[in-house]
Amino acid sequence: MDKEKKDYFRQRLEKMLDDVLSEADKTLTEMIGQNDRYPDPTDRASAESDRSFELRIRDRERRLLTKIKSAIGRIDNDDFGVCDNCGNDISIERLEVRPVATLCIDCKTKQENHEKTHAG
């Protein structure tokens, strides 16, 4: 992959990183500022459900942060865009959709098919 493409993906990944961290800060600020006193049990249940949902989203984003940092590291190590499984290039189209991808589309398809047949 040429330097221009690597720089492009680094910028995208750094923007993703900033966006995720910004959302996490926003969630933390909102949770600290929330009033935990609800006169109605239904209001309390609704607030707790919303908070639980928000925390699940943040947990998914926490895992995404790890993937983003790893992808930036792969750019630094000059192995970004190379499939971890077969060593072939990951298509630019796939990286456009999922810049944190570590498998080419063929290896990812095989992995998903294997998971489907061995799930249970």
The radius of gyration of the chain's CA atoms, rounded to the nearest angstrom, is 19
* Cα–Cα distance measured from residue 116 to residue 97, given in angstroms and rounded to the nearest whole number: 23
Q: What is the pLDDT of residue 80?
A: 96
Mean pLDDT of the chain: 90
Give the DSSP per-residue string, 75-119.
HHTT-TTB-TTT-PBPPHHHHHH-TT--S-HHHHHHHHHHHHHH-
Please tell me whether the overall predicted TM-score, pTM, comes out greater than 0.85 for this model: no
Q: Please tell me the least confidently modeled range out of 27-31, 32-36, 90-94.
A: 32-36
* 40 band by pLDDT with thresholds 50, 70 and 90: confident
Q: Please state, in angstroms and as integers, the Cα–Cα distance from residue 98 to each residue in 17, 67, 91, 92, 108, following that order.
A: 14, 11, 10, 10, 12
Q: What is the pLDDT of residue 51?
A: 81
* Cα–Cα distance measured from residue 85 to residue 24, given in angstroms and rounded to the nearest whole number: 32
Per-residue pLDDT at 120 exceeds 60: no
Q: What is the pLDDT of residue 116?
A: 92
* Cα–Cα distance measured from residue 112 to residue 51, given in angstroms and rounded to the nearest whole number: 32
* Cα–Cα distance measured from residue 29 to residue 44, given in angstroms and rounded to the nearest whole number: 19
Interior CA angle at 9 toward 83 and 2, to 5°?
A: 75
